[in-house]
């Protein structure tokens, strides 16, 4: 009798005529599913038609002019390998582009540049999960060669559609080549940093007003959440300073002198963002200290009130305890005015204590 393994291809899911899921062939997702756009630019003008990455590169190299710009969104390793083979991308850079979660950096591989930028998006307090996340991060990676630009995006908010549209509306800038595209991407990302820092600054101003408003209640946890988000923004922004500075100093011949001056403007904006974030961190630290001090002061005030009321209650309790003892001889116990006198004395002592506590602002 043949072994059971010989009959495995004929197995079926119970109650169904369909083959078992484990036996279904794995569908191969085409590269076009990850390509957002593929275009050929000659002298700053986009050539009409739809292009595959092979035909686009062949067209540019046949003309010996222009460049190809391919935009990818979260490709897997299998799909990006086909593009990497055609364009000669370095395997280490391809691995970083697929798996993401990299620090901002720039690397040079022979005649190619690989740059990683962190994108940020301000969620705010209107979203359901904004209590735990105010700033959302993503990544944009760019492969820049003499005649191509390949951008790989991770995250839903990191779209480059507006960047491409603005560049296509400015053929003179686009004619500067792939370096102009890299500058436009970096400029777009840094401008987003500025927008996010302005939104965070408004949140910090609201928190500051709430902390220092008399009799206001401020949850210190909200400040901690915002401080954590500012630190995450700092991890996205600060490491980008060195790569941008390299591009302004002639790090690669792929970035001509005309484009370096544009990167200097990006560097200036990046310095502004970095200084803002440093100020946010210091201010939030001060707000945390102020909020904790306010909480401590409120607790001390509550404890003083509680202690005052305990002292007021203890006077009649003590007198009632004394006169409630089971003794025959108690002063004033047999006196007809004894009970009213005890009430009057208790009231006078409590009134005196109440006045003392109120004068000392305990009540």
Assign domain 31-295 to its CATH architecture.
2-Layer Sandwich (3.30)
Assign domain 302-359 to its CATH architecture.
Up-down Bundle (1.20)
Q: What is the DSSP string of 195-215?
A: HHHHHHHHHHHHHHHHHSSTT
Query: What does the pLDDT look like over 147-195, one tens digit per residue?
Result: 999 999 998 887 899 999 999 999 999 999 999 999 999 999 999 999 9
Cα 75 to Cα 38: distance, rounded to the nearest angstrom: 15
Q: How confident is the model at residue 276 (pLDDT cuts 50, 70, 90)?
A: very high
Query: What does the pLDDT look like over 4-26, one tens digit per residue?
Result: 444 333 333 333 444 444 433 44
Query: What does the pLDDT look like over 225-245, one tens digit per residue?
Result: 888 888 889 999 999 999 999
Asked if residue 141 lies in contact with residue 152, where contact means CB atoms within 8 angstroms, the answer is yes
* pLDDT, greater one: 131 or 236: 236
Token look-up 């951008």 returns: 151
CA angle 74, 78, 83 (to 5 degrees): 80
* pLDDT of 125 higher than 80: no
72 CB-near residues (< 8 Å, 6+ apart) = 34, 35, 36, 80, 83, 150, 151, 152, 153
Domain with CATH 1.20.58 in the chain: 302-359
A 10 A CB-CB count for 61 gives 14
Asked if residue 107 lies in contact with residue 202, where contact means CB atoms within 8 angstroms, the answer is no
Query: What does the pLDDT look like over 287-308, one tens digit per residue?
Result: 888 877 777 777 777 787 788 8
Cα 53 to Cα 72: distance, rounded to the nearest angstrom: 11
CA angle 45, 166, 181 (to 5 degrees): 70
* pLDDT of 120 higher than 70: yes
Cα 318 to Cα 177: distance, rounded to the nearest angstrom: 92
Domain with CATH 3.30.460.20 in the chain: 31-295
Q: Which of 31-40, 273-282, 340-349 has the lowest mean pLDDT?
A: 31-40
Is beta strand 67-73 parallel, antiparallel or unpaired with respect to 148-154? parallel
């Amino acid at each position: 009798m043949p072994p059971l393994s010989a009959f495995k291809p004929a197995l079926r899911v119970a109650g169904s005529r369909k083959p078992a899921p484990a036996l279904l062939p794995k569908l191969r997702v085409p590269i076009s599913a990850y390509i957002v756009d593929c275009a050929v630019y000659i002298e700053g003008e986009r050539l009409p038609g739809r292009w595959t990455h092979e035909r686009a590169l062949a067209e540019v190299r046949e003309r010996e002019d222009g460049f190809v710009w391919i935009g990818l969104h979260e490709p897997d390793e299998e799909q990006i390998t086909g593009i990497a083979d055609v364009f000669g991308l370095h395997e280490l850079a391809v691995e970083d582009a697929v798996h993401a979660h990299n620090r901002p950096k720039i690397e040079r591989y022979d005649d190619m540049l690989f740059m990683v930028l962190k994108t940020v998006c301000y969620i705010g307090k209107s979203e359901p999960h904004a209590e735990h996340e105010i700033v959302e991060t993503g990544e944009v990676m760019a492969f820049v060669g003499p005649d191509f630009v390949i951008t790989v995006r991770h995250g839903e908010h990191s779209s480059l559609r507006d960047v491409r549209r603005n560049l296509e509306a400015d053929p003179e800038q686009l004619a500067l080549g792939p370096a102009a595209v890299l500058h436009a991407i970096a400029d777009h990302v840094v401008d987003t940093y500025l927008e996010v820092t302005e939104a965070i600054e408004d949140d910090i101003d609201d928190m500051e007003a709430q902390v220092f408003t008399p009799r206001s209640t401020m949850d210190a946890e909200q400040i901690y959440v915002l401080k954590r988000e500012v630190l995450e923004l700092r991890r996205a922004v600060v490491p980008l300073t060195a790569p941008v500075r390299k591009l302004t100093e002639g790090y690669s011949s792929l970035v001509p002198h005309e484009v370096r001056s544009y990167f200097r403007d990006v560097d200036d904006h990046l310095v502004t963002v970095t200084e803002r974030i440093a100020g946010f961190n210091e201010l939030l630290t001060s707000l945390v200290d102020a909020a904790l001090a306010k909480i401590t002061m409120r607790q001390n005030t509550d404890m003083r009130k509680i202690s005052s009321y305990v002292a007021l209650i203890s006077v009649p309790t003590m007198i009632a305890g004394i006169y409630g003892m089971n003794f025959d001889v108690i002063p004033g116990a047999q006196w007809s005015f004894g009970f009213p006198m005890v009430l009057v004395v208790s009231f006078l002592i409590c009134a005196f204590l109440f006045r003392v506590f109120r004068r000392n602002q305990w009540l």
